[in-house]
Structure 1
Amino acid sequence: MVRQIVVEGFDNCMRTTEENKNSNVYILFSSSKVNGKSWCPDCVVAEPIVEECISKKSDDTVFIFCGVGDREFWKNASNPFRTDSRLKLKSVPTLLKWGKPKRLEENQCADKELVAMLLEED
């Protein structure tokens, strides 16, 4: 059973990963939405593909959709998503399994085969 959680910001994301540390946790880092619209065109393309693939998982999985803030905040090189040693994000969208080194970035997140492969790995 996949449980989907939407969070906004670094602190909320870290708290949610800690609360779910005994589950398989996947996180999609994406642009935050203003009036339901994303500022990142790559995120707009990737989000439905990732959501479709994650919905097919049947194990105990937690899927966190994390908004990284507005464009100005994201572009700041010192924002915590970029500087935190557990994340070191370079781009959005980024999909990763929490605690594992493999990740998909930018247009890779829009490739259904790559997303499915990442979600199948242990």
Structure 2
Amino acid sequence: MVVRHYIEGYENFLEFIENWDSNKPTFVLFTGSKLESGESWCPDCVVAKPHIERGFDAAPDNFHYVVVEVGNRSFWKDPKCPFRSNPKTQLKVLPTLVRWGTQKRLEGDHLLNPSLISLLLNDED
């Protein structure tokens, strides 16, 4: 079973990544934080979620899946949002799924395509 991690906010993300030393394939999903309803404020994230989850349901057991909630809408929309400016993340859109430690990523509408998700998850380095 894929090992799942859930992180909320930029500071918690930085702390997690600083201490992360897994040599296992690690995928980081950046998504909008959840509202009281339990759904993300980001409509694209809500639509993409089932496609992403199905991809990880079929992924190898040694994978790590890290879900990072970037914050509320106003925090994300701020051009100075650290998730946008940090050279390690360089986010432009939500959702974004990154194979950590590589340049490989899927952004926005690409996460609605199960074939692209499968390709990212099964692509060997």
Structure-1-length-normalised TM-score: 0.93
- Residue 81 of structure 2 corresponds to which residue in structure 1? 79
For the residue of structure 1 that corresponds to 2:92, the secondary structure is coil
In the aligned structure 2, how far is the partner of 1:106 from the partner of 1:65? Answer: 15
TM-score for both structures, normalised by structure 2: 0.91
Task: Find the aligned partners of 1:17 and 1:118 in 2 and give their Cα distance.
Answer: 20
Provide Cα deviations, 1:21-71, integer angstroms capped at 9, x if missing partner. Answer: 322110110110011121111100111111110121124111011101111
Match of 1:25 in 2: 26
Count, aligned residues: 122
Q: Which deviates the most, 14-23 or 97-106?
A: 14-23
Which structure 1 segments of 5+ residues have no match? none
SS in 1 for 2:14: helix
Percent identity between the aligned chains? 38
Describe the shift of the 1:62–1:17 C-alpha distance in structure 2 as closer, same or farther (beyond 3 A). farther
Equivalent residue runs for 1:1-122 within 5 Å:
1-22=1-22, 23-35=24-36, 36-122=38-124
In structure 2, list runs of 5 or more residues that go unmatched.
Answer: none
CA RMSD across the alignment: 1.3
8 Å Cα contact 2:48/2:112 also seen in 1: yes
- Compare the two structures and name the one with the higher strand fraction: 1
Q: Is contact 2:3–2:61 with CA below 8 Å preserved after alignment? A: no
Moved more, 67-76 or 5-14: 5-14
